[in-house]
Amino acid sequence: MNGWNGIILTVDLTSGISLREELPRMLLEEYLGGRGLGVRLMRDFFHLDPFDPAMPLIFSVGPLCGTPAPTSARLSVVSRSPLTGTIYDCSAGGKFAWRLKAAGVDVLFITGRSPWPVVVTVTPDAVEIMPAVALWGCDIPTTVAALEDRGSVAAIGQAGENGVLFANIMMGEGNSVGRGGMGAIMGSKNLKAVVVNGDRKTGIADQVLFNKSRQDIMRLFKASPVIFGPLGISEFGTPVLVDLMAQRRMAPTENFRKTWFEHSANYSGPAMKEACAAKKDGCYGCPIQCKKSSANGKTLPEYETASHFGALNNIAALHTIITANDLCNEMGMDTITAAATLSAWGEIRGAFPSTEEIPRLLHDIALRQGDGVLLALGSRRLAEQLGHPELSMSVKSLELPAYDPRGAYGMALAYCTSNRGGCHLRAYPISHEILRKPVPTDRFSFSGKARIISIAEDTNAAVDSLVACKFAFFGASLEEYAELLTAVTGMAYSPQRLKEIGRRIVLTERYYNCSNGFSRTDDMLPERFFTEPGSSGDGIDIHPINRVRFEEELDKYYRIRGLNSNGCFDDGAFLRSQP
């Protein structure tokens, strides 16, 4: 079989039994891998509580992983989020995905709960469940250093061990399975780390077509100003967006009370590069190298982290932002939710965290002590317990990232239709509303946004299942990646077929969520965005969102998706009709 190994490795931590089985070829062909395959494999488990021992934690690679396909050394981790309760996947790049594929596995399916802390190691010939009591309580760098001679490591820190609802799984190379609390699920299983290694090769059906397709993609990358331009993400990383969001008056500031921060230039891409002697870094084998690291090799903050520990918390000091990023990475916490939760808490108590408080508060969160007991629950639960539920800037309990929805109406709608909660990556309307790619749209209009978002969600679901990086699609398109997939697998894939696969995945996720009680009332922004204006300046006025137009476009989205007015399905026929 080319592209896929065709193998799922199930590890039951309760019994200590592991089993390699063949995956039905039909599932591989119709769900690809990554997000799609993981979501399909959740069909018998999506109703379980996230911390039920039977809840699987699924590591799933794609058919392009293990080949020189650009940006394909990635995987998705799929489960049900303890933070949001939604079906959840999170993508990460690095050697871990490559080596999992080289171990002869497409899916690592972990269930159960060990009676003591363990590490699971996977090679082509064996699975070992090793005691890890000595590593429990260690941070991620210490854990990785102890295990990396065995292969690539995916580990949790103290936050995952202690059940912080936004705990990460961190890869040894610094990549993170960031949002949604997958690290807390891993910790609930007493699983400290997974180590993978192997030497299996991924077959390519048509090497000539593969080489041509790869060359086409690389040529498009080089022609893209967003990727390789003088102010592109390859040069400055994602913090290059800091200045752009400030100019557009849509940088979330002081828990989204304002949309402009006068000191944002302190942590812009160019400022960070100069202050930290930033060098190019990135996922294994990726030509873009969008990540940046400091002279001492530590990963520098990306846009969301810089903006949320900066403007959102009214902090201007770059060194504080870098320290916060380091601590989150070392202890294993999502930076977006951590910063947004601190910001909501700051508004509620009447004072945002100071530069001196931030390190202590992050330690308290990871250890669930002091103020961290409440902060570890995320902004929605924190705000509810403190009597101010309206001050959690979240959708479906997932904190909004660093794009104020009042400054881009497609983004406003996309936050709400996203199946995993307030996420910018499900449709990413910023590409056409702000970056003007591939076709510019009016950012202060809802016109046509429902259809644009539904198409983008389908496209991105396919991308997450290949698994490729979304940044690649600032240059290439599904046309080139469909040809690449055809070359690898020897099966005919077209852009339209990939979008149809993406649509199936998106609707399956929504079906799971609706079955678990989600509905139209959850597809809604916090009240602040409908009643309060943002900041003005440079001829730009940021007005509250028109609720009537928002609701009208949400209705259009439901009709496009074939959903009822509550955003769900009238019966169970959809799931029964799917492979």
| Secondary structure (DSSP) of 10-67 | EEETTTTEEEEEEPPHHHHHHH-SHHHHHHHHTTTTTTS-TTSTTS-EEEEE-TTTTS
Q: Any bridge partners for residue 460, and if so which? A: none
Q: What is the CATH number of the domain that holds 39?
A: 3.60.9.10
What pLDDT score was predicted for residue 572?
Answer: 82
Is 50 a member of any domain?
yes
In a domain, 107, yes or no: yes
Is 167 part of a structural domain of the chain?
yes
* 469 occurs within a structural domain: no
Place of tokens 């394909």: 72
Q: How much is the pLDDT for 297?
A: 85
d(CA 238, CA 473): 15
Question: Count of CB atoms within 10 A of residue 579's CB?
Answer: 10
Range of the domain at 129: 7-196
Q: Considering the domain boundaries, does residue 344 fall inside one?
A: no
The b/e string for 263-276 (b: 16+ C-beta within 10 A; e otherwise) is ebebbbbbbbbeeb
Residue 311: C-alpha distances to residues 89, 395, 511 (Å) = 28, 20, 37
- Residue 395 contacts residue 415 (beta carbons within 8 Å): yes
pLDDT along the chain (579 residues), means of 10: 96 98 97 98 98 98 97 96 97 94 98 98 97 97 97 98 98 89 98 97 97 97 94 94 96 98 96 92 89 89 97 97 97 98 98 97 98 98 98 98 97 98 94 87 96 97 96 95 98 98 98 97 98 95 98 98 96 89
Q: DSSP string spanning 212-230?
A: HHHHHHHHHHHH-HHHHST
**Is residue 473 assigned to a domain?**
no
Domain count along the chain? 1
Residue 486: inside a domain: no
164 lies in some domain: yes
Q: In the prediction, which pLDDT does 410 show?
A: 97
Residue with tokens 């402009």: 260
